[in-house]
Structure 1
């Protein structure tokens, strides 16, 4: 399954990703945020020093921080990047759950989750995600369109409301090879620790299986235990983010 996930991640960006040696690169035209710009190595990649230098140059030309995300370990890639000065930023457990093991918690009182399809709901979802991840309240039309695009190719965006007010959001990305990545699960700071993230994650997982695809996700270790463990998720691997300092 790990190989299928890595292939699915590459396929997700392949429609507009330039290739540099054994790497595909996803550049976000609207944002230089490191999380939105990254490269993924090919299966079995054995990059040369020249390949890595070309990769760095491609990011530099775009004014982006050289950065990669991939399932670890990949010894040849790990060694080539380390030799070029790259350092690991994060190591995130990779999790999945079977339908038989999925446990759906009771939603908090006055919380309901809907699929976000209207401009208003998509914008509210973007506001929640921006504030939760970047402490940024400004939402551009590009943010809204990015979420809209997620829902046009088999993906899904959901919005949670507490007593009618937006409080949480999340999505699963367009499926590839029968797999769908759950991402962007976010709760506004004033609504945290009330079970909303669990409710959003469980709803996304349920909807993924209803659509006939298997969900997976990457998250911090404490969330793997605290948030996703009770839903039935188990760790199957490790995703690393690695970048060139400076």
Structure 2
């Protein structure tokens, strides 16, 4: 049974967010940022008997799901149709089940978790990010940011999360110029999720992206939490293996 979230179901929603920590922490962080009354975000919980099998977060046509294998894909597919969802982010097994019902195209790679040692390294070249500089780096580095995001809405959403201590954004400086960026995009009690690591194209192949990732890894570990991330594709997963991350399952994105 899939139900819209109310205050009474928040404990169940929170438990559902632990079914898979990367997308789960994203959904939980969104709930903490927006609450239940903000029209920019809607939340649902999928129950199996008296237990939560999935927690869902819908915003801007993107449905994010943290679930286990008990979650029934049929009511989720009905929600996708009803709400004109254009993208679903979930585990690979559920992604495939939803594609069989809805059509569309998919992408997939690895969830990754840090299994390496502590870094004995200083990072004087990395500082809190200034949003115009961070956005400029992202736009120059990834086509997605050029085609999908506008600075005003992106900055307003990120500022709200920063003000509430729900995310951290950093920039890497080289000769006084911001050339790279990365963030701790979401957290739960167990983990912090590394995301949006980017380096200006002319500064790539110098190990700067790995340096940002090592800094974020150390920062999460300083909080007593486990660093996690999703590799954008399998070749990127190999790069993260080199700094101590290990695959721990596959995610899927369904595009409709």
Give the TM-score taking structure 2 as reference length.
Answer: 0.73
Q: Closer, same or farther in 2 for the Cα pair 1:23/1:86, shift >3 Å?
A: farther
* Residue 222 (1) aligns with residue 249 (2): no
Within 5 Å, give how 1:124-203 maps onto structure 2: 124-134=133-143, 136=146, 140-151=151-162, 152-203=164-215
Q: Which is richer in strand?
A: 2
* Residue 82 (1) aligns with residue 85 (2): no
Q: Is the 8 A contact 2:26 2:187 kept in 1?
A: no
Paired residue for 2:49?
Answer: none
The Cα shift of 1:10 comes to 3.1
Distance 1:51 1:197 in 2: 36
> What SS does structure 2 have at the residue aligned with 1:96?
strand
Unpaired stretches in structure 2, ≥5 consecutive residues? 1-16, 36-40, 47-53
Q: Is the 8 A contact 1:20 1:54 kept in 2?
A: no
Distance 2:138 2:227 in 1: 20
* Residue 47 (1) aligns with residue 79 (2): no
Q: Closer, same or farther in 2 for the Cα pair 1:13/1:147, shift >3 Å?
A: closer
Q: Is the 8 A contact 1:169 1:200 kept in 2?
A: yes
Unpaired stretches in structure 1, ≥5 consecutive residues? 60-64
Deviations 1:155-187 (A, max 9, x none): 211101111111100100231122111000011
Distance 1:80 1:96 in 2: 26
The Cα shift of 1:20 comes to 8.6
Aligned residues: 219
* Residue 101 (1) aligns with residue 117 (2): yes
Deviations 1:97-150 (A, max 9, x none): 13x52456787xxx811122xxxx122111111221127399623222333334
